[in-house]
Chains A and B, each alone.
Chain A
Amino acid sequence: MKTNLYQNKMLIDDLSCFFSNKCVLENVSLSIIKNEILTIIGPSNSGKTSFLRTLNRMNDFNSDFSRKGNVFLDEENIFHMNMEKLRMRVGMLFAMPIPLPMTVYENVIYAPKRLGVIKHGKKSEMDAIVEQALRDASLWDEVKDRLDSSAMKMSGGQQQRLCIARILAINPEVILFDEPCSGLDPISTAKVEETMIALKKRYTIVLVTNNVKQASRVGDRTAFFLMGRLIEIGGTAKLFVSPKEQKTNDYITGRFG
């Protein structure tokens, strides 16, 4: 392990992933620095979502999945960790907003209550967690008067921010965003991006996106994946202005993908 000026939150060491023996990710090594937003760009089939889903072991549900190499969270190998504990520390947000079929309030308090973050939750304590999480997800002002209505009735952008709040409520260390804005309109997208930038003070964020512009707007560093390989990683500003690799340049200027 190389020592770094910054503190590494996660370290991916020579990771390869396979779905029924088809290689979708080849020898990827990179580090994720604490309190940064690392954006991952690349065309479809580049393995970026598979990569993201390996970081909190969501791929383990697929029986065709296998992998080589290791991932460390604070120098602890995640494949030796308890899967549920890992996911409490590394939360994930999906492309489609998926509110659970309950009220807004219950959606946010669900995880802390069920996973034992708060024990024998007092009402006031739970209210505080819900309010804080919704505030952090910049949703509080919109929903504070209808916490008891169904989460399914909210708009798509609100649902997505509710999902963010739901993750914040269990206080993870790393949050993985899997194309969180692909189903949202530009205004909702802007709100989610603002939320992400506000959140990086306390969390480490990995964002997979198909939207190159979005990567340049929110990313501190950007990684470019192509055909299951990591082509280039570097500071976002630098990567977008003067990429080292020709392929990266072609992709961000829209020549393919």
Chain B
Amino acid sequence: MRKIKDDIIEKIIFFCGILSIVFVVLIFGFLIKEGISFFKEFGIVDFIIGKFWYPSANPPEFGILSLIVGSVLVTVGACIIAVPVGIMAAVYISELAPKQIKDILKSLVELMAAVPSVVIGFVGMVSLAPLVRVFFNIPTGLTAFTGSIMLAFMAMPTIVTISEDAIRSVPWQYKEGAFALGATKWQTIRRIVLKAAMPGIIAAIMLGIGRVIGETMAVMMITGNAAHIPHSIFEPVRTMTATIAAEMGETVTGGLHYRALFAIALVLFFITFLVNFIADLFLGRSKNK
């Protein structure tokens, strides 16, 4: 009897475990199916390096280079802001802050992670965008730069909390060992603590990037959504995610435009996969050392 119970529970757990794999494979399969049929009709090279996205022109143009540039620009911008600030905040929280400040900061950062992206987008649109427009004296405040700042806010909680965990789990003995050699606090943090915590910090950055690159609602609201290749970060851009979200409702199911959006999703999936892969490579390398 106990044996049977054991078996059943084991089966249930196995089923739950396998479920996530099934989901990913199904999603991937679906994307490939729709994407491939699009590529057969339109051509993958024209799709990737085409500069014009005119899905409803006649004949339609499906070039997503401007969308890729938009996504990359906003993501890189967000990382440039969020990564240094996030890591330094994590160092401050885990190594330097007095107890009370530490507790307050930690709960505030966690609270920040709970803000829905539409709220972030809304705040960015009504408060940050006018500021950017006036400050840089440009025609519109809805730019890649504005998007980067708001996305940096979204990525920061992830980066801070996970890096903070990694830094805190560096054994106290490492620090003590470095101090006993006459290292200053800053030398210890930079050379020992950050180095030992590096795998965790890289994982944190990658998760942050993952959040930024997949973010849809906020970027749709604050980047201006102009599908052209920008000359600077102070111009409106349109990201891949925003394109899918904005246009999916207008397409004919099974039509060329509909499948083009799936092809974009496929590209997006590929990029995220690449980011994860690079992260794993880094993590693997630092572990082997």
Contact = CB atoms under 8 A, between A and B. Distances in A.
B177 A84 contact: no
Interface stretch (B14-22, B182-190, B234-242, B269-277): B182-190
Interface stretch (B44-52, B76-84, B105-113, B191-199): B191-199
Contacts of A58: 176, 179-180
Given A58-B176, A114-B187, A150-B289, A100 B182 contact: no
A248 interface: no
B182 A85 contact: yes
Given A110-B191, A114-B187, A114-B191, A96 B173 contact: yes
Contact of B181 (A91, A102, A103): A91
B98 to A, nearest CB: 9
Nearest to A176: B180
A222 interface: no
Contacts of A100: 174, 177-178, 192, 196
Interface in A90-115: 91-94, 96, 98, 100-103, 110-111, 114-115
Contacts of B184: 84
Contacts of A130: none
Nearest to A117: B182
Contacts of A94: 173, 176-177, 180
B183 A56 contact: no
A170 B181 contact: yes
Interface in A67-95: 84-88, 91-94
Interface in A6-56: 56
A52 to B, nearest CB: 11
A221 interface: no
Given A101-B196, A102-B195, A150-B289, A88 B181 contact: yes
**Most chain A CB neighbours (cut-off 10 Å) among B177, B180, B195:** B180
Given A110-B191, A114-B191, A98 B177 contact: yes
A163 interface: yes
A103 B288 CA distance: 11
Contacts of A110: 181, 191
Contacts of B181: 87-88, 91, 110-111, 115, 166-167, 170
Contacts of A92: 180
Interface of B is mostly: helix
B166 to A, nearest CB: 13
Contacts of B176: 58, 94, 98
A226 to B, nearest CB: 26
A68 to B, nearest CB: 23
Interface in A158-188: 163, 166-167, 170
A61 interface: yes
A100 B5 CA distance: 48
A85 B182 CA distance: 6
Nearest to B190: A114
Contacts of B196: 100-101
A167 B196 CA distance: 20
A144 B183 CA distance: 26
A91 B182 CA distance: 8
B174 A115 contact: no
**Most chain A CB neighbours (cut-off 10 Å) among B171, B179, B192, B195:** B179
Nearest to B198: A101
Contacts of B173: 94, 96, 98
B96 to A, nearest CB: 13
Contact of B183 (A98, A102, A115): A115
A227 B192 CA distance: 36
A110 B191 CA distance: 9
**Most chain A CB neighbours (cut-off 10 Å) among B179, B181, B187:** B181
Nearest to A86: B182
Interface of A: 56, 58, 61, 84-88, 91-94, 96, 98, 100-103, 110-111, 114-115, 150, 163, 166-167, 170
29 contacts: A58-B180, A84-B182, A84-B183, A85-B182, A86-B182, A87-B179, A88-B181, A91-B180, A92-B180, A94-B173, A94-B176, A98-B173, A98-B174, A100-B174, A100-B177, A100-B178, A101-B174, A101-B196, A102-B195, A110-B181, A111-B181, A111-B182, A114-B187, A115-B182, A115-B183, A150-B289, A166-B181, A167-B180, A170-B182
Q: Which 7 A-B pairs have the closest CB atoms?
A: A88-B182, A92-B180, A87-B182, A98-B177, A111-B181, A98-B173, A84-B182
